[in-house]
Amino acid sequence: MPKMAIIAAAIVLISSGGYQLFADARMATAKRLAAPAQIERLVQQESPLIIKEIEQKLFSLHSYYILGQKNLSHFDEALKESKLSELYHSYEYLNLLAIKSQIYGIEKDFVQLAKALNPNQKQLLTENVVSFSQKSYLHALTTQSLAKELKLDLNFNYKVNAKDVEHEYQKLFQIREFQVFEKNIEHLAHMQKTELKAAKRNPASTEEFHSDSWKIAFESSSPQIRPWNIDTLDWLAQTPDKIVKRALQMIKQSKRDSGVIVFHQTHLQSQQASAQIKEHLNHIKVK
């Protein structure tokens, strides 16, 4: 980047409070409620404080899910024009990895909190999650994995409308905390980009991991990177058909006759999509 561009960017950041946003972004990551001692202190508080914590975490979860849906659209657009190896280094993909990590962390905190609460407090948590899911179908999608972990019987519509996502994004963007979350994702993705340049490898280990045919692997809910060749990005709520379409397009662009396709077995859409992919792969073998 030319020096003048760097100076101009710095001026914009200073004038808009950009550096403070990055400072807040680091705090947003640190706000996690993972420590048992923190959870123990929280459950000893009065119900209003517990409800406030639950509402805050639901807002955070929803924010990251909306960012995930928006970035997934960007990724699918980039997939039409970019090589697969380039995509695994792109910010479209690295943003999604960062978002996934944040979502999994918040959902894990919810589960830990639910285990620590007494029956009355857990009922408060359940009621707040159900109430949140009823605000809109996008709010319902935010709680889909959480509802499964908490054993709540909620119905979901996976047909995500891009216009609805954009409308929700614009509404959330008026809230400073949401802006912090978005900057946090950009910061985390940039850190991953730097690490990839240093290591000179793909997140998917496409050049290191081989298979004698196309196979499907199921990854646990861990955000850690595993050796695979095709990341279906199935962890984010979407129709199975959309996952299948993306996976087949990525297989075609990989120009490989073999490899590993990763799915996440905890999600309903993943189970349905993986079955369709298996059928497709079996059909290829028969031919």
- Determine the pLDDT at residue 32: 58
87 or 21, greater pLDDT: 87
Quick check: helix, strand or coil at residue 77?
helix
Using the predicted structure, report yes or no on whether residue 135 has a pLDDT greater than 50: yes
Predicted local confidence at residue 10, as pLDDT: 36
Strand-pairing partners, residue 215, are 260
Going by C-alpha positions, the residue among 267, 233, 239, 269 that lies closest to residue 79 is: 233
What pLDDT is recorded for position 285? 59
Query: Would the pLDDT of 41 be above 70?
Result: no
- Count how many residues are written for the chain: 287
Confidence (pLDDT) at 284: 65
Q: According to the model, what pLDDT value does residue 154 have?
A: 82
Q: Name 60's Cβ contacts closer than 8 Å, sequence gap at least 6.
A: 28, 31, 102, 106, 181
In this model, does residue 219 exceed pLDDT 90?
Answer: no
Separation between Cα atoms, residue 138 and residue 59, nearest integer Å: 12
Distance from C-alpha of 161 to C-alpha of 159, rounded to nearest angstrom = 6
DSSP state of 221: S
| Whole-number percent of the chain with pLDDT over 70 | 74
Q: Give the type of residue at 51.
A: I
Mean pLDDT of 264-268: 73
The pLDDT value recorded for residue 37 is 62
Q: Residue 62 corresponds to which amino acid?
A: H
**Most confident by average pLDDT, 84-98, 175-189, 272-286:** 175-189
Q: Per-residue pLDDT averaged across 147-170, rounded?
A: 89
Residue 141's pLDDT band, with cuts at 50, 70 and 90, is very high
| Report field, pTM of the whole predicted structure over 0.85 | no
Q: How far apart are the first and last CA of the chain?
A: 51
pLDDT digits (tens, 9 = 90+) for 180-218: 999 999 999 999 888 877 665 555 555 555 667 788 877
| pLDDT(109) > 80 | yes
Q: How far apart are CA 112 and CA 98, in angstroms?
A: 21
3-state secondary structure of 14: helix
CA pair distance 2, 137, nearest whole angstrom: 45
Confidence class of residue 35 from pLDDT cuts 50, 70 and 90? Answer: low
The arithmetic mean of pLDDT across residues 77-105, rounded, is: 92
User: Among candidates 203, 207, 199, which has minimal Cα distance to 223?
Assistant: 203
pLDDT of residue 267: 75
pLDDT at 15: 34
pLDDT higher at 33 or 22: 33
Sheet containing 230-231: order of strands: 214-219, 259-264, 230-231
